[in-house]
Amino acid sequence: MQVTTKWDGDVRFQGKTESGFDVMMDGEQKQGGRPMEMMLLGVAGCSSYDVVGILKKSRQDIVDCVAVVSAERADAVPAVFTKIHIEFTISGRKLKESHVERAVRLSADEYCSASIMLKAGGIEVTHSYKIIEID
């Protein structure tokens, strides 16, 4: 896997993914997200991908999945992440809590490379979920 960044003036960088997508990063948040925010987006996307896929394979009638990732950082430079919490809000019809719990656990423990990598680096990564029943 390979990505490229190109300086775009001030503290802006244009990122390009191996799959051909462009992403703008800006340390001042005027024209793009900060790099550390992008890392959290990666964790959210990776874990959400797993949870949705597992629930679909379990034949759960999932309608929506929102992941909110909150993080704490060290006070000193480098201001590395020290704690990350991923909260999933899963909406669907007749979702079985046991299936949702299993999907979140499997993502956390076996599938989400992004969060597992951060956990292996000593970051405390926790997960929670809530289920919203859709009529």
pLDDT, tens digit (0-9, with 9 covering 90-100), for 105-115: 999 999 999 99
C-alpha 41 chain-centroid distance: 5
Task: Decide yes or no: CATH 3.40.1710 for domain 1-33.
Answer: no
The pLDDT of residue 80: 97
Q: Which amino acid is at 38?
A: M
Question: What are the backbone dihedrals phi and psi of residue 34, each rounded to the nearest 5 degrees, phi first?
Answer: -75, 150
Q: What does the pLDDT look like over 1-29, one tens digit per residue?
A: 999 999 999 999 999 999 999 999 998 87
Contact 102, 54 (CB under 8 A): yes
Percentage of residues in the chain with pLDDT exceeding 90? 96
Please provide the size of the chain in residues: 135
Burial of 2 (0-12, 13-18, 19+ CB in 10 A): exposed
Q: What is the pTM of this model?
A: 0.93
In the chain, what are the domain boundaries?
1-33, 35-133
Whether the predicted pLDDT of 32 surpasses 90: yes
The pLDDT of residue 66: 99
Domain spanning 35-133: which superfamily? K homology (KH) domain (3.30.300.20)
Whether the predicted pLDDT of 48 surpasses 80: yes
The CA distance from 6 to 26, in Å, is 12
Query: Which of 126, 66, 133 lies closest to 93 in space, CA to CA?
Result: 133
